[in-house]
Amino acid sequence: MLEVNAAQQIVLAAVKPLSPTREPLDRRLLGRLLAEEIIAPQDSPACDKSLRDGYAVRAADCPSAGTVLQVIGEIAAGAAPGAGIGPGQCQRIFTGAPLPAGADAVVMQEDVELLPTGHIRLRQGPVRPGQWVYPRGQEMHAGEAILTPDTRLTPAALGVLASLGRASVQVIAAPRVGIVATGNELLAPGQPGTPGKIYNSNGPLLSALLAALPLESIDFGILPDEEAPLRAGLERMLQQCHAIVIAGGMSVGDYDLVPRTLRTLGLDEHIRQVRMKPGKPFLFGRCGDRLVFGLPGNPVSAFVCCQLFVLPALRRLLGYAEADCYPPVLPARFREAFAASNDRPTYHPARYELRPTELLVKPLPWSGAPDLRALLAANALLLLPPGDVRYAPTDPASFIPLDRT
């Protein structure tokens, strides 16, 4: 049976980033990949600016405390610089306002005494040239490359793009991803419960996991274990989405119809099972250029397969470099003794904590693939090898953090 690492490589090898598109600059671009080089159109700041509320002066006029200067006008932020200043003169100025011609320094208003004659007297001196001035081009020069293609857009990058006056940018397109739960036993939240039925937790669980990425996800609700409506539903999803995520009906039972139904829709199956627990009946393939992920119905299995295979593939569709697509695996030490017995490599819900110099990890009580409640307290998946294993406190461990953003 395929190992997890090999399966992850097969998935990523089958995914190509989507094409670039031009989109309006807003917060929906957070986490998207830039697809153009951004060049500064002009110097920033475009002129020398004041960093303080106070007075724009000529430093050469201000050798010492007690210097008296004539105030000849006022410049607010957003105003044109207006008249320049000559010897013995200054202008009232506010933070962000352009320095008038002749001025090369700013004196904070706290450092002057305002005289009734319309003059100021310096409380301190000398004034250094450039004092409280943000010089033209200090942040960037016209023609300078500010952002390279393949930059992942952060809040700071979006702020810088806005500061350049950009209303839109070229980014890698965001995929549309469909999610559906299958099973005759499933009820939508709000429907009256009846014996034998359970509520669909996988749909909301997977939608929430996908919400960590800047893509459009569509929840297609529930499809039954019946061939005709299942086929029609999956076909509709394939028409509308770049990738589809199906949970349930993946195993070998008489009502596990998903794999064979996908085959009638032209599935090119790349993966049918992976040597892991939970999540063994994971399916991956393509229908034409659509990516198809079949997750086992047990909620923790669906969760783990989403973390290990679906999210990495979607990051790749978004244009992330391959190495940035995988969830990180971090080294740690066991916080306490633990004994495990598993027939496959296992991803066990756990809690990690940062101690001054190392990470400690503690497996949580967990009763297996259906036990979604165990994930409530988890912030990690602890990797455990197959077989009977006993760990003592401080033994080495490795885990996947679940709180990575």
Ligand X SMILES: Nc1nc2c(c(=O)[nH]1)N[C@H]1C(S)=C(S)[C@@H](COP(=O)(O)OP(=O)(O)OC[C@H]3O[C@@H](n4cnc5c(N)ncnc54)[C@H](O)[C@@H]3O)O[C@H]1N2
| Residue 280 beta carbon to ligand MOO: minimum distance, rounded to whole angstroms | 3
Closest to ligand MOO by CB, 194 or 367: 367
Task: Pick what 53 binds: ligand X, ligand MOO, none; C-beta below 5 to 8 Å, kind-dependent.
Answer: none
E strand residue ranges, 186-265: 186-187, 198-199, 216-223, 243-247
> Which residues are 227's β-sheet partners?
none
Which residues have CB under 8 Å from 205's CB, separation 6+? 299, 302, 303, 372
Query: Which residue minimizes CB distance to ligand X?
Result: 297
Q: Which two tokens stand for residue 344?
A: 């496959």
Rounded to an integer, what distance in angstroms lies between the CA atom of residue 280 and that of residue 296? 8
Task: Pick what 291 binds: ligand X, ligand MOO, none; C-beta below 5 to 8 Å, kind-dependent.
Answer: none
Task: Pick what 206 binds: ligand MOO, ligand X, none; C-beta below 5 to 8 Å, kind-dependent.
Answer: none
Closest to ligand X by CB, 128 or 263: 263
Residues in contact with ligand X by CB under 6 A are 181, 183, 185-186, 198, 200-202, 247-253, 256, 278, 280-281, 296-299, 301, 369-370
Closest to ligand X by CB, 181 or 230: 181
Residues in contact with ligand MOO by CB under 6 A are 277-280, 296, 298, 301, 369
For residues 348, 331, 272, 305, the Cα torsion angle rounded to the nearest 10 degrees is 60
Closest to ligand X by CB, 44 or 301: 301
Task: Pick what 214 binds: ligand X, ligand MOO, none; C-beta below 5 to 8 Å, kind-dependent.
Answer: none
| Residue 273 beta carbon to ligand MOO: minimum distance, rounded to whole angstroms | 9
Amino acid at 353: E
Rounded to an integer, what distance in angstroms lies between the CA atom of residue 54 and that of residue 155? 32
Task: Pick what 21 binds: ligand MOO, ligand X, none; C-beta below 5 to 8 Å, kind-dependent.
Answer: none
| Residue 256 beta carbon to ligand X: minimum distance, rounded to whole angstroms | 4
Phi, psi (deg, nearest 5) at residue 326: -75, 150
Q: Which two tokens stand for residue 256?
A: 């596990």
Closest to ligand MOO by CB, 310 or 369: 369
Closest to ligand X by CB, 48 or 256: 256
Rounded to a whole number of angstroms, the distance between the first and last alpha carbons of the chain is: 32
Look at residue 28 and give its three-state secondary structure: helix
Task: Pick what 233 binds: ligand X, ligand MOO, none; C-beta below 5 to 8 Å, kind-dependent.
Answer: none
For 309: left if phi > 0, alpha if psi spans -120 to 50, otherwise beta; the answer is alpha
Sheet architecture: strand order including 105-108: 105-108, 54-57, 89-93, 68-75, 119-122, 112-114
| Residue 369 beta carbon to ligand MOO: minimum distance, rounded to whole angstroms | 3
| Residue 362 beta carbon to ligand X: minimum distance, rounded to whole angstroms | 25
Rounded to an integer, what distance in angstroms lies between the CA atom of residue 2 and that of residue 56? 72
Task: Pick what 181 binds: ligand X, ligand MOO, none; C-beta below 5 to 8 Å, kind-dependent.
Answer: ligand X
Q: Contact, 76 vs 33, CB < 8 A?
A: no
Closest to ligand MOO by CB, 157 or 384: 384
| Residue 8 beta carbon to ligand X: minimum distance, rounded to whole angstroms | 18
